[in-house]
Structure 1
Amino acid sequence: MKEKWLMARGSWEEIKPQITTALESGFECVIVDRENVERVRELGNIQVACFGAEKGAEDILVIGRHGEGDGSVPLPKDLNSSMDYALAKTISGNKAAYVVIAGKKYEQFAVEMGKHVDYLLVIGTDWKVIPLENMIAGLQGCQVKIISGVKSSDEAKLALATLEQGADGVLLDSSDLSEIKRVMRAAEQSEKGRLDLIPARVVSVKPVGMGDRVCVDTANMMVPGEGMLIGSQAKGFFLVHSESEDSPYVAARPFRVNAGAVHAYIRVGEKTRYLSELKSGDEVTIVSKDGLSRSAIVGRAKIEKRPMILIEAEADGVLISTLLQNAETIKLVSSDGTPRPVTELKAGDEVLVHLEEAARHFGMKIEESIVER
């Protein structure tokens, strides 16, 4: 998850609306003056950081302001003579280094500081992408999280997309409440993955009697074209559409996917889980008809006995199947991206599926021969 930090400058009356908006937008941390630490905690549950040279009541101490980090004190030729570097090495507890990248030597200084802190807050001047790329490469293997300073959502998008993994988060320095919201959306967009969805030809559709099926109700809204990847075999998953469309039978429930039988797999991130295992608070993955994926939180999982229908389909020579509730409101996604009720499916129709190259063991991909029928 990409972290979102806010730099809150000014009087408490000025920064209180900013912090409230950051809380509502899911920001992980706010940097304030030390006298405002407890005030922030009264507003909600968020990490509080502040600048200083010694630990106080804050969750994260930030080293570098009014020192070598922001250029107030010139960088020494010998790194061991740096006061900020000495603090980073000796102070215990959660800490961050704040470095303004005013040139190549500050980039190198940031990398060395990053080896001794939990967070590295890097602020660009005329530089944006190149120093961040170099620092990400220079700190590979270190536990530090790189948080890139930005003044807008456009800069946030760039920082979060640099290299394949991008920065670990962004530090927004803006009093614009709308910009705080836009940075939240930029971070959400950067976390979306993409999965390959391909058309599969339906081979057979037949009722099979009663079974226990799972409705996955999430704390997140879905839109038409989104659903979850479900399958009876870990080698292949059907895109089961959310109940985000009105029908003659029931009002839309855009938070729900009627996902199928209790035994079925659901793809969650890079792993699989059984539908029967899901419970409130668990994470699931929502997938769009274009293959874009995002995380959602399970609000509840409802298991009820319902008439079931078996759907078998073939893609790239692989036969996959799934059991779904036999009802008009349960839909797969056609190869053209439109939802198709399972009660209307017939042999020869095409639906979107995702195929896996590896087998799975306890939900993890493994290179092993497993036969599932």
Structure 2
Amino acid sequence: MSPRPRRSSSTAQRQGTMKLTWLDIRGASAAQAVLEEALHQRLDGVVSDTLADLGNLPPTVRKILFPQGKALPDDLTVADVVIVDPREHGAPAELAQAHPGVEFGRFVEIVDAATLEDACQSARTERWSLLLFRDPTKIPLEIVIAAAAGAEGSTITIAQDVAEAEIVFGVLEHGSDGVMMAPGAVGDATALKQAAATETSPLDLVELTVIATEHVGMGERACVDTCSHFREDEGILVGSHSKGMILCVSETHPLPYMPTRPFRVNAGAIHSYTLSRDGRTHYLSELKSGSKVMAVDVKGQTRIVTVGRVKIESRPLISIDARAEDGRTVNLILQDDWHVRVLGPGGAVLNSTELKPGDRVLGHLPAEDRHVGYPINEFCLEK
């Protein structure tokens, strides 16, 4: 039998959009429903301790045998990957020689300094390392990730639930290459896939021409304070209508009477929309501690940041109307103050109170209307 072509575990990392997701169906309740969900969501791998569970899976999913506490079958041709405990099954390198069509990896349970060193060694040398950390601290995982820097293999960390998976994906800014999780119910596979999307797609930004500004009196505006540092060319998109937004810059640029606050965007009136993950919009008024918003730079590169606080206060407001080249119009209502700024072409920082007809600002024109923040193709008139 000729060796099967290896599926690259680093494809997702090279694309920079998705981590690996393994679903552990050993002893799962509603296993068939969970399995169908996993296949529909295109999870990367399905893990079982019996080959019978893997035999009928389609070639679109990696078939992973993890015979923890069980003897290793003689015929492993059904499996793509076999995770072994060397104390029970032998060394992965020797097993790979005996089964040339199968990839082997090592299971390590980290409970102390000695097993942490085993995990680091495995991450540096093995094709696959499946890691179980018994203590809740993520410091040992940080050490393994640092030790494995530049290694060709992949580390898969066992998570107890989706909340832990999200943390694992972000540890040390790099995260584990993947997560294995046992589903508690239908829906967990979908949530795990969403958690694995650690990066967001870029947005198309357009230049808008200011056509009018107007002082509109008092109202409530929201400052969005995040848990992240913004760059000088970065902010969040805000607009009065779902089909047009302007890029509001963060307070990373010096101001004459107050210190910079690189975590903050003075974002606009509370009715305004902003973008979060998966293209969904939220009103500024409904953001709160723990909410997610999309940070956007002048090149359209995006990332999701966490809201730490939203300050809503009564302030004078200014309305800005702008038009795209195709005739679509955009409105943004901001605090009527010189230090509130938006971004223009090339990262130009523009004071809102000094904007005048003919000035150019950067914006985004979503194609869909919105229903409770989700994009939908339906008739909707906003004015």
- TM range, smaller chain: 0.5 to 0.7
Residue of structure 1 in register with 2:381 after alignment: 371
Residue of structure 2 in register with 1:136 after alignment: none
Residue of structure 2 in register with 1:228 after alignment: 236
Residue of structure 1 in register with 2:306 after alignment: 297
> Of 335, 351, 369, which aligns to 2:361?
351
> Of 75, 78, 84, which aligns to 1:77?
75
For residues 292 and 230 of structure 1, what CA distance do their matches in structure 2 show? 16
Q: CA offset at residue 205 of structure 1?
A: 1.2
For residues 225 and 325 of structure 1, what CA distance do their matches in structure 2 show? 20
Q: What is the TM-score when the length of structure 1 is the normalising length? A: 0.56
| CA spacing shift, 1:297–1:367, aligned 2, 3 Å | same
Residue of structure 1 in register with 2:174 after alignment: 183
Residue of structure 1 in register with 2:160 after alignment: none
For residues 358 and 229 of structure 2, what CA distance do their matches in structure 1 show? 32
For residues 247 and 177 of structure 2, what CA distance do their matches in structure 1 show? 26
Q: CA offset at residue 251 of structure 1?
A: 1.2
When the two structures are aligned, how many residues end up with a matched partner? 251
- Deviations for 1:296-347, whole angstroms, at most 9, x for unmatched residues? 1211111111110100111122111010001111111011212111111111
Report the 3-state secondary structure (helix = DSSP H, G, I; strand = E; otherwise coil) of the residue aligned with 2:214.
strand
2:343 aligned with 1:333: yes
Residue of structure 1 in register with 2:270 after alignment: 262
Residue of structure 1 in register with 2:255 after alignment: 247
Report sequence identity in percent.
Answer: 35
For residues 191 and 244 of structure 1, what CA distance do their matches in structure 2 show? 23
For residues 308 and 251 of structure 1, what CA distance do their matches in structure 2 show? 22
| Counterpart AA for 1:372 | E
Residue of structure 2 in register with 1:218 after alignment: 226
| CA spacing shift, 1:99–1:349, aligned 2, 3 Å | farther
Residue of structure 2 in register with 1:133 after alignment: none
| Counterpart AA for 2:244 | G
| Counterpart AA for 1:276 | S
- Deviations for 1:19-62, whole angstroms, at most 9, x for unmatched residues? xxxxxxxxxxxxxxxxxxxxxxxxxxxxxxxxxx9xxxxxxxx9
Q: CA offset at residue 183 of structure 1?
A: 3.2
Report the 3-state secondary structure (helix = DSSP H, G, I; strand = E; otherwise coil) of the residue aligned with 1:243.
coil
CA RMSD of aligned residues (A): 4.5
Q: CA offset at residue 157 of structure 1?
A: 12
Please tell me whether the aligned partners of residues 157 and 190 of structure 1 are also in contact (alpha carbons under 8 angstroms): no
Aligned residue runs from structure 1 range 55-204, under 5 A: 63=66, 76-77=74-75, 102=96, 105-106=101-102, 152-154=148-150, 181=172, 183-184=174-175, 191-204=199-212
Please tell me whether the aligned partners of residues 156 and 183 of structure 1 are also in contact (alpha carbons under 8 angstroms): no
For residues 284 and 146 of structure 2, what CA distance do their matches in structure 1 show? 41
Q: CA offset at residue 360 of structure 1?
A: 0.8
- Deviations for 1:199-220, whole angstroms, at most 9, x for unmatched residues? 1111111111111101111121
Aligned residue runs from structure 1 range 270-281, under 5 A: 270-281=279-290
Q: What is the TM-score when the length of structure 2 is the normalising length? A: 0.55
Residue of structure 2 in register with 1:319 after alignment: 329
Where does structure 1 differ by over 2 angstroms across 4 or more consecutive aligned residues? Answer: 62-68, 75-81, 98-105, 122-128, 149-160, 180-190
Report the 3-state secondary structure (helix = DSSP H, G, I; strand = E; otherwise coil) of the residue aligned with 2:102.
helix
For residues 243 and 360 of structure 2, what CA distance do their matches in structure 1 show? 18
| Counterpart AA for 1:106 | V
